[in-house]
Structure formats: structure tokens, C-alpha cells
């Protein structure tokens, strides 16, 4: 595996959000109307074309093929459920670069075909996580709960079958795409529920972001006493905020770990300087990408 150790700050940089060079096709996990598509729209605009994928592994595979896609949108962590650890492993093993991020509030909505009322509902279909997030609302009713593989797919099914007694829990976008009525808006129990999505591109497509103020990095040390503390000290001394530090076991090692770090900074020169200072303290370091910090939607 090859590891980048520095971003060349002399390369002409694009401004954040300038993705006009793309063909506007990105792979996402889930079906049309999913929260991944909402995140893609937030970043690229409503005209973005999405390639639905059954698994995150497929998302990465298609994003890496220049004949199929120009990039990917992949969920990486949630404010309630925490990190999606398998996706960090996918990030580490692929050759894609992080060029942006989106924080999306996850609002779960009860969707029905037009004209259907609450008293008409007998079943509610959705992904198991969506059902769990809405139990306080669902417990007020005696509906049968049916677990499905995807929230947006549930919405599509009740639209296709013109169901009069079945509702789905899904996004507002799903309601829009499948001509459904939101009969229960924002029914999730915990309202402060955000998912962070990474915007990924192939390295030959990705241009450095001129106004980047955040970067994702993976590194590991020689695992001697205090080696991690030395790296963290250099990061702090460089004025960089470490917004995330996640450890991962190194495959084939005897309980040795690599670390994913999200760093926030004022400018790329500050980031590059810190990377140069921690390189001698690490065995390997890979920069996934420097990008503009996402806003909470």
C-alpha cells in the first residue's frame, strides 16, 4: 500500500463546491430517495445523478471505476449510533480521496399514498433502524411493524402497489420522488440525529480544495511507550483541533493499532507543517484528503 505524506500546496486549487468538472454521477448506498441521495443533493445540487448500490462495498467499487461513476457519497458516522467502522476500513483500502463532507439531520417521516388517513393504516414498513428510531411514536398505535432492507425501497413499494393500508417510514425526498403524503413528519424519538457523509473521488479526478480547513488522516506509530502521545502533542502544538481519533487493529499484527484522525485547521500551510513534524514520529501515514468542513444541515 502506498502512503501519501504531504499535500503539494503549489498545485492550483479549486474553491470548495467547485465540481463543475464532474459528470454528475455518484454512487450511493441505498435506493433513490435515501438519505444518501439527500446528502448528494446537498453537496452537488438537485441535478446530481445517483447510482444506487446495495452495499457500501459496491459504492466504493463503482466509485473507483472511471467508466461507471465520478465519485461516491458514503456515510461514515452518526451522532447517535457512532462510527460506521466497516466504512473506515473501506476508506483505508481504496484509492479514493475525500473531497468534502455533509452533515445531514435524519428526519424520519410516516409516508402514505394520497388520501390514506392514520385510521386506515394497518402496517408500517421500513428498515429496522428507522423503526427503532421511531418507537415512541409507533407505540401509540397498534400497527404491525415490518422490517425491510431500505427506507426508500419501502416508500417505493407502497407507491407501486398503491397500498391503502400500509405506510412507510422514510425521508422527505422519498415522499417527493414517489408522490407520497407525509402524514407524520419528524416522528423519530431523538430529534438531534445527524449523519456525517464523506464525498469521495478518484485521485486522478480530485483537485486540491483551495479553502480546505479539515483533513482526514490515517497513521500508526512504532507502538513504543509514549509514541502516540508524541504525535498528539505535535498536532496540538501546531494549533490543530483533533475533532476525531479512532483506533483500528492492524491486520496480522499482535494487537497493534492504526489511528484515523480528523484535523481542523485555519489553512493548508498549517496542516502541511504539522504533517511534516509528525512524519518522523510515525511508521506510516496516509492523507485521505483535505476539504472544506461541512455545515450541519
DSSP 110-172: EEE-TT--GGG--EEEEEHHHHHHTHHHHTTS-PEEEEES-HHHHHHHHHHTT-SSEEEEE-H
Q: What is the mean pLDDT of the chain?
A: 91
Alpha carbons 137 and 104: distance in angstroms, whole number: 22
CB of 27 closer than 8 Å to CB of 53: yes
pLDDT at position 2, please?
Answer: 34
Can you give the pTM of this predicted structure?
0.88
3 state DSSP class of 279: helix
113 has a pLDDT exceeding 60: yes
The H or E element spanning position 56 is helix 56-63
Instruction: Residue 193: name the closest of 75, 16, 274, 110 by CA.
Output: 75
Q: Which of 18-27, 207-216, 253-262, 283-292 has the lowest mean pLDDT?
A: 18-27
Q: What is the pLDDT of residues 163-182, one digit of tens each?
A: 999 999 999 999 999 999 99
pLDDT at position 6, please?
Answer: 32
Q: What percentage of the chain exceeds 70 in pLDDT?
A: 92
10 has a pLDDT exceeding 90: no
Query: Mean per-residue pLDDT for 59-74?
Result: 95
pLDDT at position 23, please?
Answer: 56
pLDDT at position 254, please?
Answer: 86
153 has a pLDDT exceeding 90: yes
Alpha carbons 215 and 218: distance in angstroms, whole number: 10
Higher pLDDT, 75 or 203: 75
Query: Mean per-residue pLDDT for 152-159?
Result: 97
R_g of the chain computed on alpha carbons: 21
CB of 231 closer than 8 Å to CB of 258: no
15 has a pLDDT exceeding 80: no
DSSP state of 65: -
Domains, the chain, with CATH or none = 1-11+207-297 (3.30.70.260), 22-106+193-204 (3.40.190.10), 109-184 (3.40.190.10)
CA pseudo-torsion sign 30, 33, 34, 36: positive
pLDDT at position 297, please?
Answer: 60
13 has a pLDDT exceeding 60: no
In degrees, to the nearest 5, what angle opens at C-alpha 271 toward C-alphas 269 and 274?
A: 110
Query: Mean per-residue pLDDT for 134-162?
Result: 96
Strand order across the 284-291 sheet: 241-249, 257-264, 214-220, 284-291
pLDDT at position 126, please?
Answer: 97
In degrees, to the nearest 5, what angle opens at C-alpha 98 toward C-alphas 102 and 261?
A: 90
Q: How far from 12 is each of 202, 265, 268, 286, CA to CA, in Å?
A: 18, 20, 13, 21
Alpha carbons 278 and 257: distance in angstroms, whole number: 17
Query: Mean per-residue pLDDT for 129-149?
Result: 95
Q: What is the pLDDT of residues 204-231, one digit of tens each?
A: 888 889 899 999 999 999 989 999 999 9
7 has a pLDDT exceeding 80: no
Alpha carbons 264 and 271: distance in angstroms, whole number: 8
268 has a pLDDT exceeding 50: yes
pLDDT at position 198, please?
Answer: 98
pLDDT at position 255, please?
Answer: 86
Instruction: Residue 214: name the closest of 195, 196, 194, 240 by CA.
Output: 240
Q: What is the pLDDT of residues 228-266, one digit of tens each?
A: 999 999 999 999 999 999 999 988 888 889 999 999 999
Amino acid at each position: 500500500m502506498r502512503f501519501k505524506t504531504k499535500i503539494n500546496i503549489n498545485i492550483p486549487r479549486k474553491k470548495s463546491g467547485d465540481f463543475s468538472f464532474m459528470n454528475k454521477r455518484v454512487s450511493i448506498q441505498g435506493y433513490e430517495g435515501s438519505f444518501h441521495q439527500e446528502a448528494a443533493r446537498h453537496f452537488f445540487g438537485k441535478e446530481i445523478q445517483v447510482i444506487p448500490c446495495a452495499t457500501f462495498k459496491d459504492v466504493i467499487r463503482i466509485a473507483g471505476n472511471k467508466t461507471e461513476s465520478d465519485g461516491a457519497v458514503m456515510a461514515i458516522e452518526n451522532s447517535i449510533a457512532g462510527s460506521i467502522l466497516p466504512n473506515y476500513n473501506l476508506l483505508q483500502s481504496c484509492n479514493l480521496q475525500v473531497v468534502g463532507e455533509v452533515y445531514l439531520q435524519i428526519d424520519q417521516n410516516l409516508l402514505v399514498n394520497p388520501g390514506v388517513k392514520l385510521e386506515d393504516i394497518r402496517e408500517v414498513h421500513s428498515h429496522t433502524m428507522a423503526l427503532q428510531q421511531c418507537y415512541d411514536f409507533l407505540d401509540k398505535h397498534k400497527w404491525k411493524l415490518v422490517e425491510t432492507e431500505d427506507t426508500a425501497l419501502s416508500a417505493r413499494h407502497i407507491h407501486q402497489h398503491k397500498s391503502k393500508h400500509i405506510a412507510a417510514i422514510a425521508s422527505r425526498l422519498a415522499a417527493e420522488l414517489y408522490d407520497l403524503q407525509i402524514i407524520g413528519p419528524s416522528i423519530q424519538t431523538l430529534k438531534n440525529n445527524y449523519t456525517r457523509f464523506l464525498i469521495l473521488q478518484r485521485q486522478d479526478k480530485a483537485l486540491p480544495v483551495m479553502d480546505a480547513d479539515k483533513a482526514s488522516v490515517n497513521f500508526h506509530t512504532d507502538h513504543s511507550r509514549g509514541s502516540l502521545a508524541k504525535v498528539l502533542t505535535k498536532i496540538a502544538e501546531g494549533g490543530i483541533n483533533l475533532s476525531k481519533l479512532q483506533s483500528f487493529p492492524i491486520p496480522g499484527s499482535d494487537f497493534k493499532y492504526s489511528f484515523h484522525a480528523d484535523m481542523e485547521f485555519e489553512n493548508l500551510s498549517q496542516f502541511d507543517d504539522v504533517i511534516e513534524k509528525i512524519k518522523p514520529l510515525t511508521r506510516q501515514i496516509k492523507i485521505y484528503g483535505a476539504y472544506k468542513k461541512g455545515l450541519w444541515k
